Amino acid sequence: KAGVTQTPRYLIKTRGQQVTLSCSPISGHRSVSWYQQTPGQGLQFLFEYFSETQRNKGNFPGRFSGRQFSNSRSEMNVSTLELGDSALYLCASRLLQGGTEAFFGQGTRLTVV
């Protein structure tokens, strides 16, 4: 069974641009969450979607947004990119609301120059 797939794997953008990252969860998983990981900061929770609805949100500015489609695939968008947005963005899927094991994708490495 295929794992969590994130695209693209690597991305280079310039300040001020916007970017959209994609995440396809494990088949049958309906919960998708997004995390930002920077060196020394650990995993910072962005938001979680379940059944196309945002269920939980971390402390990130409004430039970070997301959505989930009816097939559970999710996208994350960052507008007006800043240098500090350079990070590894990880997506994780869970089987059900309340499922505790998060299965992570390989991440998208975003570099803002």
Partner 1 sequence: KNQVEQSPQSLIILEGKNCTLQCNYTVSPFSNLRWYKQDTGRGPVSLTIMTFSENTKSNGRYTATLDADTKQSSLHITASQLSDSASYICVVSANTGFQKLVFGTGTRLLVSP
Tokens 């240098």 label which residue? 83
Copy the structure tokens of residue 37.
């990981």
Question: Minimum distance from CB of 16 to partner 1 (Å)?
Answer: 27
67 burial (CB, 10 Å; 0-12 / 13-18 / 19+) is middle
Is the Cβ of residue 75 or residue 104 nearer to partner 1 in the bound state?
104
CB-based burial, 6-37: b 16+ in 10 Å, e otherwise: beeeeeebeeeeebebebbbbeebbbbbbbbe
Is the Cβ of residue 55 or residue 63 nearer to partner 1 in the bound state?
55
Q: Give me the residues that bind partner 1 (CB under 8 A), please.
A: 4, 33, 35, 40-43, 45, 48, 50, 55-56, 88, 90, 92, 97-107, 109
Is the Cβ of residue 12 or residue 17 nearer to partner 1 in the bound state?
12
